Amino acid sequence: MPLYDYRCEVCGHRFTARHGFNDPAPACPACAATEVKRVILAAPTFAQGMLTLAGDSRRASKEQLQDKWAEETPKLRKKLVDKLGEDVVNRSAPTLNKKYD
């Protein structure tokens, strides 16, 4: 039997119920009201999943960027120091001295 999502019109409680397609909507388990609305969750859940995934990938890529930054910065800094000298780098690119732990 399929699982349906409902929202209680009276108390706003969200719940899921498993029942046949033609069966009547169940009463709200929180307040026993029968004014419950089936929530079509396919799209919102999908969108929410996408958002969650996007959030995760944002976090992951931020960490990756930070790793990359931590890895590349000393190299870049060294290149600049070789080219321009320690003083110039310290003066014009102080962020390159920033360390990520």
Give contact residues for Zn ion (rule: CB under 5 A): 8, 10-11, 13, 28, 30-31, 33
Q: Which is nearer to Zn ion, 29 or 85 (CB)?
A: 29
CB atoms within 10 A of CB 50: 10
Least distance to Zn ion from the beta carbon of 6, Å? Answer: 9
Q: Give CA–CA dist 44/50, Å, rounded.
A: 10
Q: Give CA–CA dist 41/34, Å, rounded.
A: 20
Least distance to Zn ion from the beta carbon of 38, Å? Answer: 14
Least distance to Zn ion from the beta carbon of 3, Å? Answer: 19
Residue 2 burial (CB < 10 Å; 0-12/13-18/19+)? Answer: exposed
Q: Which is nearer to Zn ion, 8 or 89 (CB)?
A: 8
Q: Which is nearer to Zn ion, 24 or 94 (CB)?
A: 24
State the residue for tokens 């870049």.
Answer: 76
